[in-house]
Amino acid sequence: MRVGGARVAAVARQGDDAGAARAAACAESSLGIAPTVTVEHLPVGGRAGVRITLDASVPVLALWDGGRVEAGGRALLEGVDDAP
């Protein structure tokens, strides 16, 4: 599963909080889960980037915890010229 929000976090002037909010909103609207969202800055293909990771429990029959799901997405930071 790909995570929406990494691109939002990578866009200049939006930042990590906007990306985390977007990723959480996508997960809540599409899967009905309330994830824990982690944002970290790390290299993507040798350039400055951002990674968003979602972690959430997945209910089965709305009563029992069916397990956990983890998903992530990465994007290059916009406005950073660090090309090799």
pLDDT in tens, 65-82: 678 888 888 888 887 766
Percentage of the chain lying above the pLDDT 90 cut: 15
Query: What total of structural domains would you count in the chain?
Result: 1
Residues 8-24, mean pLDDT to the nearest whole number? 84
46 within a domain of the structure (yes/no): yes
Of the pLDDT bands very low, low, confident and very high (cuts 50, 70, 90), residue 39 is very high
Determine the pLDDT at residue 12.
65
84 within a domain of the structure (yes/no): no
Mean pLDDT of the chain: 82
HEC secondary structure over the chain: CECCCHHHHHCCCCHHHHHHHHHHHHHHHHHCCCCEEEEEEEEECCEEEEEEEEEEEEEECCCEEEEEEEEEEEEECCCCCCCC
1 within a domain of the structure (yes/no): no
What is the extent of the structural domain holding 47? 6-76
82 within a domain of the structure (yes/no): no
